[in-house]
Amino acid sequence: MASNCLSDSIIVSRTIDFDIFEEIFDSKIRQKFWNNLQPWFLARGYRLHPHYGLVSLNPHELQLYDIADNPVDPSSLYSHVASKEACSRFLYPPQFYLNAATSNLRRDVMIKFFPTESNERTISEYLKDERHRLDPLNRTISVLDVFTLDSRLSFSIMPRWGPAAFVKYDGFDTVGTALHYADCLLKALAFLHKNMIVHRDLRPANVLVNFYDYGETHPETCRAFFATGQARFVLCDFGLSHIFPPDTPPELRLRPAEESEWGTYEYHFADLESGDSMYDPFAYDVGCLGGLLCEMIGYLTPLVPPLAPFLDRMIGPDIPSRISASDAVRDFNRLIEQMDASSMQMCAISPPKWSFDYVWQGHDRWADLPESFIREVNKAPVRPRRKIQGPQGSYFVDWNATDFV
């Protein structure tokens, strides 16, 4: 029976179109696909969780999913969880390419599938290497293992961490936590670029925190966890990433311009407005992360004025002079070193309501800064850009530009 189930899943893997959205797959088909793989994953030390809404909550079945105590080491691979009870942990929204599981070490993990012949498979194998996992710069989600089902389908095993996107709307508890968030993402990008990997899908949904809970209580319980000082943020999802050979010279580290449109529309960057056929994905990554940080922490510049010129160096329109990921880490460390303990413990102000098309074009992070500070940095601010509608389509223009007529 087990081999028949596995055969069914292999047949399903041959029919998966990796270029279409997961929503077209019926939830029952998703559940059947993963259920058929249960014996295969059990043999490798992982018990899959059932998808919420597709199974009954059987207490005897749920008992199988008890996990070990929460980790106490902030550098642990694994996450803190609000409740160890199984019924509160497998209530995970059904997705086709992701499934939760518990390992034979009694740790919660996430399993993701992707094409066997893909950049994501290559990058996952690379990140699994202990040398890279222990790199002090590495702030990407750890890859515990990579398995191959057949010539089309492979799986990565990752610790289960929680979503951090809620801080876009709910904000951070303190300035220190907000700066720690930025520090983690800057280091993650510097680590990837050092290893010739470009991410290309930098957005809040691809940032995880080492804590998870469910439903409306998540922001509240997660903010309480922030107060413990144990929060860590990591970058995940390499489905759109690209890895260059290690000896690729700078002039060849380019990709076709149409690839810059991959990922989430709101987090695209305005590097290709002149109609270039190729683009620099490393500089583009830095610009996209700068835009993300403008959205997530840029409104804190009245409390941390040096953030404004720092973010300018990440999103400036002159691509050759844009700061590199490694230099951004260096400069941000200097910024943090200038902060005293009381400043780091200041309550973070609430984020604004977002209502614009692109994250980097709305909030003016220089608006409320003292004139004395602006004179001190002696630099013209990089103002947010705005989108206008012209006779032949949309245009991105400087903040003070007039509309096209």
pLDDT at residue 71 in the model: 55
Note whether residue 405 is domain-resident: no
Note whether residue 363 is domain-resident: yes
Domain boundary residue among 160, 191, 210?
Answer: 160
Q: Which domain holds residue 385?
A: 163-397
Note whether residue 404 is domain-resident: no
Q: Do 367 and 378 fall into the same domain?
A: yes
Note whether residue 172 is domain-resident: yes
Q: Do 78 and 180 fall into the same domain?
A: no
Q: b/e map of 292-322 (b: 16 or more CB within 10 Å)?
A: bbbbbbbbbbebbbbbbbbbbbbbeeebeeb
Domain boundary residue among 129, 160, 191?
Answer: 160
pTM listed for this prediction: 0.85
pLDDT at residue 252 in the model: 94
> For the chain, how long is the longest CA-to-CA vector?
75
Q: Do 129 and 170 fall into the same domain?
A: no
Q: Do 251 and 371 fall into the same domain?
A: yes
Total residue length of the chain: 405
C-alpha to C-alpha distance for 97 and 44, rounded to whole angstroms: 19
Q: Do 168 and 260 fall into the same domain?
A: yes
Q: Do 60 and 197 fall into the same domain?
A: no
* Phi and psi angles of residue 347, each rounded to the nearest 5 degrees, phi first: -65, 130
Q: Do 338 and 207 fall into the same domain?
A: yes
Q: Do 197 and 142 fall into the same domain?
A: no
pLDDT at residue 318 in the model: 85
pLDDT at residue 362 in the model: 59
Domain boundary residue among 142, 160, 178?
Answer: 160
Q: Do 146 and 211 fall into the same domain?
A: no
Q: For the chain, 405 residues long, give each residue's pLDDT as a single digit of tens.
A: 455 555 555 555 555 555 544 444 566 677 778 888 999 999 999 988 876 555 555 544 544 455 566 554 555 677 777 665 555 555 455 567 888 888 988 888 999 999 999 999 999 999 999 999 889 999 999 999 999 998 889 999 999 898 898 888 888 999 999 999 999 999 999 999 999 999 999 999 999 999 887 655 577 788 888 888 889 999 999 999 999 999 999 999 999 988 888 888 778 777 766 667 889 999 999 999 999 999 899 999 999 999 999 999 998 888 888 999 999 999 999 999 999 999 999 998 888 776 555 555 556 788 889 888 988 887 666 655 544 444 444 444 443 333 332
Q: Do 124 and 220 fall into the same domain?
A: no
pLDDT at residue 380 in the model: 65
Note whether residue 402 is domain-resident: no
pLDDT at residue 359 in the model: 57
pLDDT at residue 268 in the model: 79
Return the CATH number at 303. Answer: 1.10.510.10
DSSP 135-172: -TT--B----EEEE-SSSEEEEEEE--EE-TTHHHH--
State the total domains in the chain: 2
Q: Do 198 and 134 fall into the same domain?
A: no
Give me the helix-helix angle, 27-42 and 2-15, nearest 10°: 130
The amino acid present at 237, given as its one-letter code, is D
Q: Do 194 and 170 fall into the same domain?
A: yes
Least Cα distance to 397 among 381, 386, 384, 382 occurs for 386
Note whether residue 251 is domain-resident: yes
